[in-house]
Amino acid sequence: MESSSRLPLRRPDRGRVLGGVAAGVALHLDVPVRLVRVLFVLLAPFGGVGLLLYVFWWVTVPVGDPLAAAEAGRPASLSRLARPQESATVLRLRRLPWTEIAVGVALLAGAAALLLTRAGTEVVGSWVVPVLLLVAGAALAWSQLDAVQRERRAGTRGPVSVLRLVGGLVIAGVGVLLLVGQEATPGTLVQSTVAAVAVLGGVALVLAPWWLRLVRELGDERAARARESERADIAAHLHDSVLQTLALIRARADDPTEVARMARAQERELRAWLYDDRPEPGTSVAAALAGIVAEIEDTRTGPEGEAVTVETVVVGDAEPDASTDALLQATREALLNAVRHGRPPVSLYLEAGPDAIEVFVRDRGDGFDPEAVPADRFGVRESILGRVRRRGGRASVVCKDGGGTEVRLRMPLLRAAGAPDAAADHDERTMQG
Amino acid sequence: MNEAPVDVVLVDDHLMFRAGVRASLDGRVRVVGEAATVDEAVQVVRATRPPVVLLDVHLPGGDGGGGAEVIRACTDLLGGTRFLALSVSDAAEDVVAVIRAGARGYVTKAISGPDLCDAVLRVAGDDAVFSPRLAGFVLDAFGTAAGDVATGDDELDRLSAREREVMRLIARGYSYREVAGELFISIKTVETHVSAVLRKLQLSSRHELTRWAAARRLL
């Protein structure tokens, strides 16, 4: 493997035995993980080099999937949307129950010490308790490193992990004090504690600017990466839809209806992509209406075979239910009528109020006489007016002189109005003007 | 109509769109100047002082404020020069920003040539131009619940029942004349109502308006 395509150094979440250091190093160097582990163990007796190295990397190497990190390092525009297969090395490794093993070993050591004390051997020196405290504190604090990182990635930071971190620090500090100041009087102990805290504070003050800058740079880098991925998202979308439509339009340049329709469909899609909240399917009447409009604009033509557009204005939104479905079906029929028989522009207005949804469909055609439509024709009477009235709504068709036709529908919302609108609404005048 | 044509300045950063608008305008409107950036627009408007400026919402240059920035830079001219916003964007915050800066109307770029000329003449006559979509914005922003009706004329945060009726008819695709016929009032009265709504949109401190504009994106 070339050095340029080497995986970055990360401690993988999966396949780790202790801190994932060996697995991470193995992936980074592309050598068998067993070899790395053996090396760590072999190096341990030599002044604890292996142990120190392990702890050093545990603390400094960030957690993460090396493969994902390699992906993120590349320009986002080059990355693929599908996740690559997981590396076999990572999958093969299994995690051992290290916590339980450590607890068992500690208990066994404690039992042995007690037994030896019973037998009269002086094992438990004055240094044992402080060292135990120190180790326990460090373990508590370090155990939170990964947790804090994971929480930050998830966008939350629990107070529990911070508390544990602080508690671990305090315990370790007390351990250090007890260890160092065994022969000191309480007075000197307090004095030296204050001095130590003061020195720590001074050093922190000096280092703070560097630390702040580091944090800021990290944040900037993260923001830049987010921007780039957004840009890649947009580029992919433009490529998939807009460029293709443009190519199609160029190919069909001699067919104005088809060109207008494709341009309109693309415009609608792009607008939805740019401006819409993209609600979950089945949760929004407005989205369902947009779908109906899209279907009509895509598949229907006007009386002279021209492409049609529906000027849609939506105010408010509501949860769909059986009666809004009926309302939308009726709206669809009304739109089809307007597109087929009326003249453009066709206007559609939906207003979802607190207790009813109202829909108005208007065209600028010559109008027609609903009374003159034969009773056996299902068109207007059944599919538009009947549909809405059967569900307790109001419906009427209004023709004006030279002003086209308007279908007015009003459907009470189930949860708002316990009882549907009074039956008297049914004989609302269907003809005016 | 044989009155003198209305002079307009055309502000848009796309040369192709300016050419298209120029070609679609009829004899009632004459283009006396064009500009492509915020700074150019302010300069041209100040030099020519046209009765109407056709203004794109998104413009390069200046402090990045787009069309709203041009209007703010020309606030002292608002008595004689009126701005008609023209945009391809449906984003509510764009609409609200440019209207609140002082534009007298808002139309989308899909508008036909004759309709655009009508809109220019209307703005030149100091009337507000409300497209169905803008009326929908207004209804959405001010709320359509029964409790949201203004009782006094000086109330800026709510529409009166009549104003809401006018807005609803405009959103349904009615022209001012048709609105007047439907409500049995004169066109002049309709224009008064529309201007009142525009004033409320500009001056209202209704906090939902800004929040709504930021949060809501319409079809």
Distance CA B182, CA B132 (A): 16
Secondary element (H or E) of residue A193: helix A186-237
Contact B156, B200 (CB under 8 A): yes
Contact A342, A364 (CB under 8 A): yes
Considering only residues B4 and B155, tell me which one the structure prediction assigns the higher pLDDT.
Answer: B4
Distance CA A373, CA A270 (A): 41
Of A272, A316, A360, the CB nearest to B140: A316
Give the per-residue pLDDT at A401. 67
Whose tokens are 């460090």? That residue is: A138
Give the per-residue pLDDT at B150. 63
DSSP string, B149-166: B--STT--SSB-HHHHHH
Give the per-residue pLDDT at A82. 33
Burial of B173 from C-beta contacts in 10 A (0-12 / 13-18 / 19+): buried
Give the per-residue pLDDT at A72. 55
SS3 A360: strand
Secondary element (H or E) of residue A38: helix A33-43
pLDDT in tens, A318-334: 888 888 888 888 899 88
Give the per-residue pLDDT at A207. 92
* Prediction pTM value: 0.60
Give helix B161-171 / helix B187-203 axis angle, nearest 10°. 100
End-to-end Cα spacing for chain B:
37
Which residue from B133, B104, B135, B132 is spatially nearest to B8, judged by alpha carbons? B104
Give the per-residue pLDDT at B126. 82
B188: pLDDT strictly greater than 70: yes
Give the per-residue pLDDT at A311. 85
Give the per-residue pLDDT at A349. 92
Contact A307, A255 (CB under 8 A): no
List CB contacts (< 8 A) between B217 and chain A: 275-277
- The per-residue b/e assignment along A291-307, b for 16 or more CB within 10 angstroms, e otherwise, is ebbbebbeeeebeeeeb
Separation in Å, CA of A76 to nearest CA in chain B: 27
SS3 A185: coil
Distance CA A169, CA A187 (A): 23
Say yes or no for a CB contact (<8 Å) between A362 and B90.
Answer: no
Instruction: Give the number of other CB atoms < 10 A from CB of residue A212.
Output: 10
Is some CB atom of chain A closer than 8 A to the CB atom of B136?
Answer: yes
Which residue from B205, B9, B176, B10 is spatially nearest to B100, judged by alpha carbons? B205
Return the CA Rg of chain A.
Answer: 37
Which residue from A319, A316, A335, A328 is spatially nearest to A406, judged by alpha carbons? A335
Q: Is the dihedral of CA A43, A47, A51, A55 positive or negative?
A: negative
Separation in Å, CA of B133 to nearest CA in chain A: 6
- The two tokens of residue A313 are 């204005």
Which one of A136-140, B13-17, B147-151 scores highest in mean pLDDT?
B13-17
Q: Which residue of B has its CA nearest to A403?
A: B178
B219: pLDDT strictly greater than 60: no
Is some CB atom of chain A closer than 8 A to the CB atom of B184?
Answer: no
Distance CA B133, CA B144 (A): 15
End-to-end Cα spacing for chain A:
83
Instruction: Give the number of other CB atoms < 10 A from CB of residue A160.
Output: 11
Say yes or no for a CB contact (<8 Å) between B172 and A406.
Answer: yes
Mean pLDDT, range B117-123, rounded to an integer:
88
CA-based angle A102:A104:A105, to the nearest 5? 65
Contact B165, B194 (CB under 8 A): no
Give the per-residue pLDDT at A374. 53
SS3 A152: helix
Spans of chain A, pLDDT less than 50:
1-4, 74-88, 90-94, 417-433
CA-based angle A233:A237:A243, to the nearest 5? 140
List CB contacts (< 8 A) between B133 and chain A: 311, 313
pLDDT in tens, B35-94: 888 888 888 888 888 889 998 888 887 777 788 888 888 877 777 888 998 887 767 777
CA-to-CA dists, residue B106 to B8, B28, B99, B110, angstroms: 16, 20, 8, 12
Is some CB atom of chain A closer than 8 A to the CB atom of B60?
Answer: no
Residues 67-126 of A with CB under 8 A from B: none
